[in-house]
Structure 1
Amino acid sequence: MGTCILKNVLLETGFEYDGDEIIRTKTGLFCVAIEDGKIKSVIPNKPKDVDAIDAKGLLMLPAFKDMHIHLDKTFYGGDWQAVKHRTGGVKGMIELEQQILPDMLKTSTDHAEKLIELLQSKGTSYARSHVNIEPTSKLQSLKNLQKALDNKKKGFGAELVAFPQHGVFYTNSAPYLKEAAQMDIDFIGGVDPYSIDGAIEKTMDFTVQLALDHNKGIDLHLHETGESGLKTVEYLIKKVNENPTLKNETFISHAFVLGRLEAAQQEAIAAQLGNAGIGIVSTIPFGRLIMPIPTLYKHNVTVMTGNDSIIDHWNTWGSGSVLQKTNVMAQLYGYATEFKLSRCLKLATGNILPLNDNGIQQWPKAGDTANVVLIDASCSAEAISRISPVKSLIHQGNIVF
């Protein structure tokens, strides 16, 4: 664990008002001491402290978290490859993966490390990575990724989802999932149980029971936008309510069906998700599909984001920046005021904000884990609006760059 003192650190201290309207974020320069991976103290600035590292007025924010990514299967770190023409939907992609994964596994550890370095350069020090568990890779993709994470553990942390990309039963991934559940993973994953496995209840019952048996969370890929998508969401809500230990440990990734519902249905489902403690992990799609994120927030649904694929056989659009994802969200929903922009930061930080809604400083404070970024911006609202450059990353007290 690192030990250091930073001076001339810019921190948010409150809001400035014009009547009832927040027009600016107040800031000040501070001295932040870090010891044994924790923030030891936040005290008035000591600019003449020769033993302190000069942060030069850069804004300190919580380090970012990419909560939906596939570190285990990426072309990043190798030659450029655009997506090839594909047919057959997700099942067609399963066939493609069965062909290409054996070669990808030969370099997957190295490519994962390169991808981690990209995320770090964008201010991310923690990720939730889905990792393929299926008959082609068996457990090798997991083992290769765990090696990469071990090599990068000084500057990066992760939680893992055992992900049956090729279906639980469509390719008989169940035995491998059972084995993976006994290893160092955190969530049981899934993908489109109706369109891939042909049965919502059978697949979801298996997933839920496996999570319960091994004290894991659940993170389900759900791309389906029709009736089957809605029924899957409703069935998962039912199962979580029947098994309260899964509350606040269950997530639906993508959940595109929510963007296809009428407003009244969105409100009703969002309320049920909030009551069940089921979170949504969205890549913030735009264009033909706009997710009802404001409605989810209204009903206290945890919303997180991630880059999903940076460059692989699925798509090539990922920048590695969750701050960019936050910027897209702000644009989509018209979060343009100082206050609303500042609130958007929680999407990138795993729901940590320097100021609460009343402008009271709540981060950083003594005892907080020292996962921080130093960014070239005057406040978090500007950082989001301009996707300001990250100048330094500290993970558990270790200076990454």
Structure 2
Amino acid sequence: MKQTKWLTNVKLEVGERFLSSGVVETETAIFHLKIHNGKIVEQLSEKEMIPSGEEQLDMKKMLAIPTFKEMHNHLDKTYMTLDWKACIPVSSLKERLYLEAQELMELAGSAKQRATKMIETLLGYGSTHIRTHVNIDPYIGMKNLEGVIAALESFKGNVTYDIVAFPQHGLLRENVPALMREALRNGATMVGGLDPAGIDNAIEKSLYEIMDIATEFDADVDIHLHDGGFVGYYTADKWIDIVEEAKYKGRTALSHSFCLGDVPILQQEQISARLSEQDVAIMSTVPIGLGRTLPPIELLDRHGVRVYFGCDGFYDSWSPYGTGDVLEKVTRFSELNRRIDERSLRLGLKWATGGVTPLDSLGNKVWPNVQDDADFVFVDAASTAEVVARKPANRKVMVKGEFVSIPEI
């Protein structure tokens, strides 16, 4: 494998133009990119000559976009590689958790196998970073964690990851806090939590326990927050207080957070400002059919709150649906919110890429740059706006200048 090569005929976005009708169009141009040791070291325009004798790989004018970050997932829960089974309907979250507990031991032995298939699927769609929550509970202890770590390690060099120790069946019960600490000593990298009101029935006690574990291990935090209305709002507001007290700015996230969309606009504005001040991120899976209000993502974005999308678990005891394509979440959100013009479609890509877009909000080229990692998803598309609207298939995923070999999805 040569350490230096040229990617020729790469389409990149370079700006935007206004048509006489006032419509914005994205401008693109063709470039040749020199890659050395996994990084971009030179960019030439289409008409500039490449030095003779150097390896070239013709990208045939495919559009390069940033790779994706899958920021809310459950690698340990999927049924992938197992025989088909649909979900058993339930009437409450507690009933779902009870049914899940019944099959945990049955599934634990295949955790590595199932997680490996899910990682292959995510990577095939373009996700090169995965944040996975892994059950840590009295039923299986560390078994799921061991399987997920083994699966992720087999993708070393192609996939980076966060592993959240996740108390799916409640943090304030039995020996779960001790198990959470054991998980962080054995490969978990983040601390999770679940519904301090609805599951733990003790908002402050649950939140302080989460932060105590986090500060003990110097670990970041990502809490599942399904609790709705003003109960959920109070929980989020209290968490921001705790983050400020612990000086944990920029190190925590709240997943789902439907409650932020349940309250009046004034309260949405107030808590968005507080989330921004303490840099608490929001992770959304853009669910449909729940009869729930989504968090106010565009409002949060205007306040500078970091928002990320993820696929959640898919094909598991919670839902038979899902593909593993985080871009699909951007498309769904854009469609739900009538983001139909070139610029708003284009800017929506950031929710799949961890904030990286080829053009900024003013239409200036900001990616890729010399010394950036040569990490790309190559697609046949006119612009990232088309990518978001149409979700092109046949994506070619490159990490550190090398194409990733993935079984066909």
TM-score, with length taken from structure 2: 0.93
Pair 1:175-2:164 in alignment = no
Once residues 33 and 135 of structure 1 are traced to their aligned partners in structure 2, the CA distance between those partners, rounded to angstroms, is 52
Structure 2 partner of 1:225: 228
Distance 1:340 1:199, change over 3 A: same
Distance 1:277 1:182, change over 3 A: same
Q: Does the 8 Å contact 2:230/2:263 carry over to 1? A: no
Distance 1:20 1:67, change over 3 A: farther
Once residues 10 and 83 of structure 1 are traced to their aligned partners in structure 2, the CA distance between those partners, rounded to angstroms, is 44
Structure 1 partner of 2:36: 35
The one-letter code matched in structure 2 to 1:297 is D
Cα offsets for 1:162-208 (capped at 9, x unmatched): 11111112353111101122233321000001111110111110101
Distance 1:199 1:20, change over 3 A: farther
What is the CA distance between 1:154 and its match in structure 2?
Answer: 3.2
What is the CA distance between 1:80 and its match in structure 2?
Answer: 2.1
The gaps in structure 1 that reach 5 residues or longer are none
Once residues 4 and 101 of structure 2 are traced to their aligned partners in structure 1, the CA distance between those partners, rounded to angstroms, is 47
Once residues 296 and 324 of structure 1 are traced to their aligned partners in structure 2, the CA distance between those partners, rounded to angstroms, is 21
Q: Does the 8 Å contact 1:40/1:366 carry over to 2? A: yes
The one-letter code matched in structure 2 to 1:28 is A
Aligned pairs (5 A) from 1:278-289: 278-287=280-289, 288=291, 289=293
What is the CA distance between 1:34 and its match in structure 2?
Answer: 2.2
Once residues 47 and 71 of structure 1 are traced to their aligned partners in structure 2, the CA distance between those partners, rounded to angstroms, is 46
Larger mean Cα displacement after TM superposition, 371-380 or 278-287: 278-287
Q: Does the 8 Å contact 1:62/1:349 carry over to 2? A: yes
Distance 1:47 1:286, change over 3 A: farther
What is the CA distance between 1:248 and its match in structure 2?
Answer: 1.2
Once residues 366 and 303 of structure 1 are traced to their aligned partners in structure 2, the CA distance between those partners, rounded to angstroms, is 27
Distance 1:359 1:90, change over 3 A: same
SS in 1 for 2:221: strand
SS in 2 for 1:181: helix
Once residues 290 and 227 of structure 1 are traced to their aligned partners in structure 2, the CA distance between those partners, rounded to angstroms, is 15
Once residues 170 and 146 of structure 2 are traced to their aligned partners in structure 1, the CA distance between those partners, rounded to angstroms, is 20
Aligned pairs (5 A) from 1:39-78: 39-45=40-46, 51-78=55-82
Once residues 332 and 231 of structure 1 are traced to their aligned partners in structure 2, the CA distance between those partners, rounded to angstroms, is 27
The one-letter code matched in structure 1 to 2:276 is G
Structure 2 partner of 1:358: 362
Pair 1:326-2:327 in alignment = no
SS in 2 for 1:71: coil
SS in 1 for 2:138: coil
Once residues 20 and 217 of structure 2 are traced to their aligned partners in structure 1, the CA distance between those partners, rounded to angstroms, is 54
Once residues 360 and 26 of structure 1 are traced to their aligned partners in structure 2, the CA distance between those partners, rounded to angstroms, is 10
Q: Does the 8 Å contact 1:181/1:210 carry over to 2? A: no
SS in 1 for 2:199: helix
What is the CA distance between 1:397 and its match in structure 2?
Answer: 2.9
Q: Does the 8 Å contact 1:155/1:398 carry over to 2? A: no
Distance 1:355 1:25, change over 3 A: same
Q: Does the 8 Å contact 1:281/1:303 carry over to 2? A: yes
Structure 2 partner of 1:335: 339
Q: Does the 8 Å contact 1:70/1:309 carry over to 2? A: yes
Once residues 339 and 174 of structure 1 are traced to their aligned partners in structure 2, the CA distance between those partners, rounded to angstroms, is 46
Pair 1:157-2:165 in alignment = no
Aligned pairs (5 A) from 1:75-224: 75-87=79-91, 89-224=92-227
What is the CA distance between 1:21 and its match in structure 2?
Answer: 4.4
Q: Does the 8 Å contact 1:9/1:56 carry over to 2? A: yes
Q: Does the 8 Å contact 1:32/1:39 carry over to 2? A: yes
Count of paired positions: 399
The one-letter code matched in structure 2 to 1:147 is A
Once residues 80 and 33 of structure 1 are traced to their aligned partners in structure 2, the CA distance between those partners, rounded to angstroms, is 46
Q: Does the 8 Å contact 1:3/1:35 carry over to 2? A: yes
Once residues 93 and 402 of structure 2 are traced to their aligned partners in structure 1, the CA distance between those partners, rounded to angstroms, is 41
Once residues 227 and 64 of structure 2 are traced to their aligned partners in structure 1, the CA distance between those partners, rounded to angstroms, is 39
Once residues 218 and 100 of structure 1 are traced to their aligned partners in structure 2, the CA distance between those partners, rounded to angstroms, is 27
The one-letter code matched in structure 1 to 2:300 is L
What is the CA distance between 1:22 and its match in structure 2?
Answer: 5.3
Pair 1:372-2:380 in alignment = no
What is the CA distance between 1:20 and its match in structure 2?
Answer: 9.9
Distance 1:270 1:317, change over 3 A: same
Structure 2 partner of 1:291: 295
The one-letter code matched in structure 2 to 1:162 is A
SS in 1 for 2:131: strand
Cα offsets for 1:218-277 (capped at 9, x unmatched): 100001113321121011010011122x21111000001112111111111111111111
Structure 2 partner of 1:259: 261
Structure 2 partner of 1:4: 5
Once residues 293 and 68 of structure 1 are traced to their aligned partners in structure 2, the CA distance between those partners, rounded to angstroms, is 16
What is the CA distance between 1:25 and its match in structure 2?
Answer: 0.6
Structure 2 partner of 1:344: 348
